[in-house]
Amino acid sequence: MSSLDTRNPNHHLDDEQLLRYADGELTPREAEPVERHLAACWQCRTQLDELTQTIGNCVRYRKTIFDDCFPSPPAPWCDIRSRMAEADGTLGSSSFVSRLWSGMKQFAATPRQWAPAMAALVLAAFVINEFRDTPTVSAAVLLDRAVSAAASQPVAKQRKVRMRMGNRSITRISGQGYAPVTQADWESASALQALFVKANYSWDNPLSATSYHAWRNQLAVKEDSVTQPDNGSYVIRTVAGSGELSSASIELDAADWHAARGTLEFRSSETVELTDLGEAAPAGTAAITKTSPLTPYTPQATQAPAAGLAPATLPEAAAELRIVASLSRMGADLGEPIEISRKDGHLLVTGIGIAPQRQIQIQQELASQPGVVVQFSEPGTGAAGLADSPAVSPQAPSAEARAWQTQIANYLGGRNNFDQFSDQNLLLMDAAMSRVHALRRLAERFPAARETGLSADDRKTLSGLRATHAAALLEKLDVLDQHMTQLLTGLSIPAEAPAAVQVLSEWQAASQDIFFHARTLEKNMGILLGSAAGEATSPAQIHFLLRQLRTKLSAYETAANTAQ
């Protein structure tokens, strides 16, 4: 019997182990790790239940065939011992070949005696084989088929989806951003989107096998069930062990595998019902006009100053700082394409390619500030020109980088685990870099000469923004440091000795220094983890750069908190 690797969470029990465990053939020492694994693994428990059920079905089928279906023997059983003694006396002097031939002729001459038994044996073997080979319909298999079917379509079909939560309901087109028409639509969409973001569930394409599959795969603990209604579809329900969503279900049409309905049940007691309303009308088709007593809500309209409003009377730096602080409160200063400039005596806030819901949030946040004009636009043709340019083929990783990646993958237990480790840490690095860029933009927007013109309260506001970004950045770096420390320990690589770090006293210069140091760390981590090409540095050197950046950032955060 193959051994159970309890250190590998991806290992599962094979059929031999499950059969021996079900039959009680395992010793107590062998059964203990199997029971521990079954207690923690839904897949193996389900497989054991299905195996037990299959054996039971075979036993019941055999009992039905032999006890109920076949007639009683045509005559009482005779005493075979006297018949055998008589045969021995008759055939005592004949050869083995002649005795065998005589027995075969006698067997063939009485088909009524052996034909029913042979038919029963053939039928039982066929049924057992069918039970053994019939594939189990599982949620993972069905979702894989649906995702493959969607990916195989040359052009993705756009479908209308109704989203309902209590008395709130909106209808939108899957795969497209939602532009609310009325204030009620905006309020319903905002409430729904907030739930989807918390649950890490796709808002852009909520009713699809791809979105359901992505959410299900991120669950560490889950329990699936599959039912087949009479309408020729499959209903998959997944109960989550953790997360904002307690359970979700999706109904897949077996004909073309599109999602017909879905339900999301949140731990906060909200339930969202998703219903497919068919294919959306192609571009150019007249849209259905909806009448509403409410004034149409136009999220892309420019917020012009009110009539008679004088230009901003605050100093330019102070007024700009208040806009930056408002954007920071809603996280709009972390990489979104938003610019602030002065035009015709007013501060102009512009954004390119901002989602409609986000446009509404930004407008509402800045509505109370006098002399501020907000204007959004779609990406220009310049972006299309860049998209049409020939793609640059990625460079192959260097031999040193491949060697490090192989060594890390072996330590982590395989390439799949390496990819997960790489994705996790690169996402952390991306989140850290968004804070680094925010600090750099503050330094460029408010140089020392401009900062001196701010009031004491405004300078405290500016220091608070720096401290907030620095604390969030340090939190990400602490997690990265833990991961790299564990990696060095696992690979038996000693950490490099710490070196003296120069900390700049002026925060603008320190922000630039942190930016360049973080860029160096990002580049080297990308090469080591396989997202970029180049000469790889060792994990110890990555850890060294990370520790230096943390030291600089700790001093930076302390200075920012002191200035408040």
Q: What is the DSSP letter of 211?
A: H
Decide if 106 contacts 87 (C-beta within 8 A).
no
Alpha helix segments (H runs only) across 297-398 = 316-329, 356-366, 381-388
Please state the rounded mean pLDDT for residues 451-470.
91
pTM: 0.47
What is the structure's pLDDT at 132?
45
- Is residue 541 over pLDDT 50? yes
Q: How confident is residue 387, by pLDDT bands cut at 50, 70 and 90?
A: very low
Q: 507-528 and 415-445 are packed helices; what angle lies between their axes, rounded to 10 degrees?
A: 160
- Is residue 60 over pLDDT 70? yes
- Is residue 486 over pLDDT 90? yes
Please state the rounded mean pLDDT for residues 364-379.
82
**Distance from first CA to last CA of the chain, Å, rounded?**
67
Distance CA 474, CA 419 (A): 24
Q: What is the DSSP letter of 353?
A: S
- Is residue 262 over pLDDT 90? yes
Q: How confident is residue 249, by pLDDT bands cut at 50, 70 and 90?
A: very high
User: 346-352 and 372-377: which strand pairing?
Assistant: parallel
Please state the rounded mean pLDDT for residues 222-248.
88
pLDDT digits (tens, 9 = 90+) for 289-301: 333 333 333 433 3
- Is residue 482 over pLDDT 90? yes
Q: What percent of the chain has pLDDT over 70?
A: 73
Distance CA 192, CA 248 (A): 15
Distance CA 321, CA 361 (A): 19
- Is residue 44 over pLDDT 60? yes
Decide if 291 contacts 308 (C-beta within 8 A).
no
**Could you tell me which residue, 174 or 559, shows the higher pLDDT?**
559
pLDDT digits (tens, 9 = 90+) for 202-217: 887 888 888 898 888 8
What is the structure's pLDDT at 463?
92
- Is residue 182 over pLDDT 60? yes
Q: What are phi and psi of 488, to 5 degrees?
A: -60, -40
Which token pair is 87? 């045969």
Q: Residue 515, exposed/middle/buried by CB under 10 A (0-12, 13-18, 19+)?
A: middle
Q: What mean pLDDT, rounded, does the chain reach? A: 78
Please state the rounded mean pLDDT for residues 50-77.
71
Q: What are the strands, taking DSSP E only, across 51-186?
A: 159-165, 168-173
pLDDT digits (tens, 9 = 90+) for 113-155: 656 666 667 666 655 554 444 334 578 888 888 888 877 776 6
What is the structure's pLDDT at 35?
85
Distance CA 114, CA 107 (A): 8
- Is residue 158 over pLDDT 70? yes
Distance CA 470, CA 560 (A): 9
Decide if 48 contacts 18 (C-beta within 8 A).
yes
Q: How confident is residue 284, by pLDDT bands cut at 50, 70 and 90?
A: very low
Please state the rounded mean pLDDT for residues 353-375.
84
What is the structure's pLDDT at 311?
38
- Is residue 382 over pLDDT 50? no
Please state the rounded mean pLDDT for residues 531-545.
87
What is the structure's pLDDT at 75?
64
What is the structure's pLDDT at 76?
67
- Is residue 227 over pLDDT 60? yes
**Could you tell me which residue, 159 or 515, shows the higher pLDDT?**
515
Q: 456-491 and 539-563 are packed helices; what angle lies between their axes, rounded to 10 degrees?
A: 160
Q: What is the DSSP letter of 535?
A: P
Which token pair is 108? 């063939």
Q: Which of 328-332, 408-412, 453-457 has the lowest mean pLDDT?
A: 328-332
What is the structure's pLDDT at 135?
39
Three-class SS string for 116-146?
HHHHHHHHHHHHHHHHHHCCCCCHHHHHHHH
Q: How confident is residue 361, by pLDDT bands cut at 50, 70 and 90?
A: confident
Decide if 331 contacts 469 (C-beta within 8 A).
no
Most confident range (mean pLDDT) of 312-321, 390-399, 474-483, 534-543 is: 474-483
Q: 28-40 and 15-23 are packed helices; what angle lies between their axes, rounded to 10 degrees?
A: 120
Question: How many C-beta atoms lie closer than 10 Å to residue 438's C-beta?
Answer: 24
**Could you tell me which residue, 64 or 432, shows the higher pLDDT?**
432
- Is residue 408 over pLDDT 70? yes
Distance CA 421, CA 405 (A): 11
Half-sphere exposure of 534 (CA within 13 A, CB side): 14
**Facing residues of 251 across strands?**
235, 261
Decide if 280 contacts 173 (C-beta within 8 A).
yes
Which token pair is 284? 């150019």
Buried b (16+ CB within 10 A) or exposed e, 476-486: bbeebbeebee
pLDDT digits (tens, 9 = 90+) for 85-102: 676 666 555 555 566 666
Q: How confident is residue 376, by pLDDT bands cut at 50, 70 and 90?
A: confident
**Could you tell me which residue, 56 or 521, shows the higher pLDDT?**
521
Please state the rounded mean pLDDT for residues 236-240.
92
Q: Which of 28-42, 151-165, 266-280, 470-484 has the lowest mean pLDDT?
A: 151-165
Distance CA 468, CA 324 (A): 13
Helix (H, G, I), strand (E, B) or coil at 158: coil
